[in-house]
Every structure is written in structure tokens, then in C-alpha cells.
Amino acid sequence: MNGKGQSSGFTLIEALVALLVLSIGLLGLAGLQLHALQYAHSSYQRTLVNMQALDMAERMWTHLAEPLSELEEWRASNRLSLPNWKGAVVAASDQPGAYWLTISWNDRRFSGAGTYSFSYQLRLPVLD
């Protein structure tokens, strides 16, 4: 009789260990899901910045005589799209018709992450 009582206690321990292993596995999956959501949001932000840069480039192409005429309107329309969004367009001094378009924003979803910045070079035809 003693042998039978000991074996049922052993199966209970096996079940608890299996439950512990399953719990650790599920916690690992939850962590992976969290990181996937963080990276997906970061990807969304980078895509948004690319679209904003393309928008400004198109605005500059439509106003070749004064390429920076819509800069403030572009800034106003995008200012609230990302945290601490800043957009700048600077004419390159050494190349006529060349501009640097820079967009920066904060992404605090990752530990240690701070300000991200993308810069694009744009060349427009020079009107004489």
C-alpha cells in the first residue's frame, strides 16, 4: 500500500513541473509578442517619415521658382504626427539645386532609445 501512495504523489509533482514549464513558455511568447508590437510601431513611424519626406519633395518640385515656399505649411501639417517631430530643409551651399531634408522625432518605446533622424538629399533643376 505504501508504494501506491508514493506513486500518486510523484505524478502530482510531475504535473506541477509541467505546469511550471508551460507557464515559462507562455511568458516567453508574451515577451516575443511585446517586442513584435514595438518593432511594428517603430516601422510604422519610419514609414510615416518617408511619406512626409516624399510629400515635401513633391511640394518643392511643384514650386521650382521658390522651393521652400511651402516649408512652414508642411511643418504645420506634420508637427503632431510623431513625438517631438522636427522637419528642416537646408540648401546645400556647394551645389546649386541641392537640398538636405531632415526629419527627426523621439521614440521612447525601447530602453535607451532617443531621437531618430532621417536625412534625404534632393536635387532640383535650377531655373535661370
Which residue, chain included where needed, has cell 507562455? Answer: 26
Say yes or no to pLDDT of 9 above 80.
Answer: no
Element (H, E) at 47: helix 2-62
Q: Find out whether 89 and 73 touch, Cβ atoms under 8 Å.
A: no
Radius of gyration of the chain (CA): 28
Q: What is the pLDDT of residues 57-115, one digit of tens each?
A: 999 999 999 999 999 999 999 988 888 899 999 999 888 899 999 999 988 776 666 78
User: Long-range CB contacts (< 8 A, 24+ apart) of 98-106?
Assistant: 98/122, 98/123, 98/124, 99/60, 99/67, 99/123, 99/124, 101/53, 101/56, 101/57, 103/49, 103/52, 103/53, 105/45, 105/49, 106/82
- pTM for this entry: 0.75
Residues in the chain: 128
Return all residues near 45 (Cβ < 8 A) that are at least 6 apart.
Answer: 82, 105, 107, 116
The tens digit of pLDDT for each residue in 34-70 reads 999 988 988 999 999 999 999 999 999 999 999 999 9
Where exactly are the structural domains of the chain?
Answer: 2-123
